[in-house]
Structure 1
Amino acid sequence: MLRYVMLGFILLLSSGSLLAGNTLLPAGSVKEHTKVELTEVQKVHRLIQFVRGMKDATFVRNGSEHTCKEAADHLQSKWEKHKNSIGSARDFIEKLASKSGFSGEPYKIRFKDGTEHTTNAILTKELERLESL
């Protein structure tokens, strides 16, 4: 008896049909895992949280060193002040998160190993990762 149940199950699987509860669903009626699209606002929030969560890194703004929590707070306040004029996460990076509005000097992130990268480069790479999920 078990052999016939197993054979029936194998035939069901090979036909591409799925059993949901007590209902046999035809092949193709169940959606495959779909990519979740983030809104631009969600992407900005994720970028700010990405900065906040960086470990062993120092944020350099106008020649002063700050923790990444301080950097995230600063980016958050810039976002809150200017979000109505920002159309996308890329705009956020370019217009708010890449350089000082005061001096025009690029923001940088210095890592534990001493390497330094602009926030533009770091956040652009993270945005590309987010958009590929």
Structure 2
Amino acid sequence: MDNVAVVVDDLEAAVAFFTDLGLEPEGQARIEGPWADRTVGLDGLRSDIVLMRTPDGHGRLELTKYHTPAPVGAGSPPPPPNTLGLHRVMFTVDDIDATIARLRTHDAELLGEVVRYENAYRLCYLRGPAGIIVALAEQIG
């Protein structure tokens, strides 16, 4: 897998959120033109992207801000975790409590609570930029 893309309404805020999660900006670009229209299937596409790299260098997250056409679903309530389609993105963290505290400064909200899964992990789901669900896992065993 090369990357997973997430459409956001505030690119700068999303970059700050995922930077505090431990990802690093790897590059950015303006995407537009006939090749982009034909690839994505949208006429008049113009977007900005920032590629974020995981600390281990093995994963990337593409944050995309569409300028035209306008993104669909803006202003709608975010879907619940059991909605069909892409479910969530999970990250391993060293300290789940400290990570949650940092992400709360970006208006992240826990969907439930931090729980222990057997003697292996502490886990939680939270809502991040553009309403996406971000899961955190801290290995404990």
Q: TM-score range by the shorter chain?
A: under 0.3
The structure with the largest strand share of the pair is 2
TM-score, with normalisation over the residues of structure 1?
0.28
TM-score, with normalisation over the residues of structure 2?
0.27
* Greater Rg over alpha carbons, structure: 1
